[in-house]
Amino acid sequence: MNLQTSLISKNPLRDSVFNMLEESIIKLLLKPGDRLIETEISEKFGVSRGPIREAIQELEGRGLVEHIPYKGAVVSQLTEKDIEELRSCRMVVEKLAAKLIIEKSHNNPSLLEEFDQILDEMKEANRKSDLSYFLTLDFQFHESLVVNSNNHLLNEMWKPISSRLRRYFFLNSRQGYISLNESLNQHIEIISAIKKGDIEKTSELLNKHKCWS
C-alpha cells in the first residue's frame, strides 16, 4: 500500500492518519478502487485501529472513500457526473468569491498580495516543470479566492468539495489537457481582471479557465 508517510506527526493521531490518507488519495498514491485495510495501516505505522477508523469515516464524508458491502472501505471513483457537479459548484463559489474580493479590494488592496506571491511561485514551478508543486499552488490559488472573500458561508460551502477538487486536479493533469504555461497565463489573466475591478471579465475568465479539466 503506497502512502504519504511524511504527514504522520505529533498531531493527534486521528488528524495525522487523516492527513496522511487524504494526501495519498489526492496525489494518487492510493488510486480509485484501492482498499483501505485498517489492519495493514495499523501495522505499517504502529497506530491503533480507532484513529484509523475515525479518519476513514471522515474521508467518506469528504467523498474520497466509499464503503462497499463485503469489500469495506475503498478509494472512491470520480464519475463524469461527479466531475460535472464539481465544476458547477466550484464555478458558483469562485465567481461570487471573486466578485466580493473585487468589491472589498478597493478599500483593502492588501487582499490581492497573496495572489501575487502565489503567481510568483507558480512561475518558478513552471520554470522547473515541477508539476506536483504547480498543482498544489494551482489549488491554493483557487482556495485563496474563497478564503479572501471573507465570507463565512462561502468558506463553509467550499470545505466539503475542496479535497475532491484537489484530487480532480491531479487526476486530470495526468491527461495532459493543458500545459503548465497555459494554465499559468490563465491565472495571470484572472488576477489582472480582478485588479482592474472588472467583475464581468473575471467571471468570463473563470468560465474559460480549464482548471485541468
pTM: 0.81
Cα 60 from Cα 57, distance rounded (Å): 5
Full domain range(s) for residue 71:
5-75
The answer to whether the beta carbons of residues 119 and 191 sit under 8 Å apart is yes
Output phi, psi for 45, to 5 deg: -115, 0
Is there a domain that residue 213 lies in?
no
pLDDT for the residue numbered 213: 47
The answer to whether the beta carbons of residues 75 and 64 sit under 8 Å apart is yes
Q: Are 107 and 49 part of one and the same domain? A: no
The answer to whether the beta carbons of residues 180 and 126 sit under 8 Å apart is yes
Cα 88 from Cα 58, distance rounded (Å): 23
Which of 29, 55, 75 is a domain's end point? 75
Is there a domain that residue 176 lies in?
yes
What pLDDT digit, counting tens, does each position of 100-136 carry? 999 999 888 888 999 999 999 999 999 999 988 999 9
Grid cell for residue 26? 489526492
